Amino acid sequence: MNYRIEKLIDEREVSEGIKSLAESINRDYRGESIRLVCILKGGVFFMTELAKHLSSEVTMDFMSVSSYGAGTESSGVVKIIKDLDESIEGENVLVVEDIVDTGNTLSYLMDLLRDRNPKTIKLCTLLDKPSRRTRDIKADYVAFTIPDKFVVGYGLDYDQKHRNLPYIGVVEFND
Ligand code: 5GP
């Protein structure tokens, strides 16, 4: 299928958005240690950039999940492809995600992680598409709220491609 990518948020805006998010996190945690939990693969670029601006002591862990569902819509039943390496009991967990869309994946994942008795757990996302939400889930930290468009770049893929774009772009299909 033919498509082009239209820039939505340029490289400078992305990096400034992440920096100001980090400032809010620094104010809220005031030096308390943070366990960043990155949801692979989309959250990687965001997490590494965010982590560079955090003043707390930071540790990182990674989780990979796949959402069962027909077509492009996630269903809320999540299969863990790779679980965390370390226990999160007693930790200040900050889940780092690329995008919250329907909220199905995160709603399931946050409940699952909450059951593991972290001291605190919050959700941080690079992008939020609130218009598509079907679950009552709200991220604690959002860098950018975007319209209902399919986006790529800065970790987000289309068919596993374009994750390495330094900006966020909208996929526009040619007819
Ligand atoms: P949810 O369960 O919130 O509907 O789905 C979240 C997941 O769907 C994200 O982690 C991401 O993998 C995928 N997703 C949702 N919207 C987009 C989008 O606009 N672009 C890309 N590349 N992935 C998306």
Please, what are the averages of pLDDT over each run of 10 residues along the chain (175 residues)? 95 98 97 96 97 97 81 71 97 97 92 97 97 91 97 96 98 88
Instruction: Determine whether 85 is an active site residue.
Output: no
pTM of the full structure: 0.94
Active-site entry in 101, 111, 140, 148: 101
Buried b (16+ CB within 10 A) or exposed e, 116-139: eebeebbbbbbbbbeeebeeebeb
User: Could you give all domains of the chain from N- to C-terminal order, each with its CATH number?
Assistant: 11-146 (3.40.50.2020)
Q: Is the CB of residue 171 less than 8 Å from the CB of residue 152?
A: yes
Name the one residue in this structure whose structure tokens are 């909450």: 114
Q: Which two tokens stand for residue 97?
A: 């995600």
List Cα–Cα distances, 127 to 7, 70, 122, 139, in angstroms. 15, 23, 15, 10
Percent pLDDT > 70 in the chain is 95
The pLDDT, as a whole number, for residue 131 is 92
- Which residue lies with its CA nearest to atom 15 of ligand 1? 101
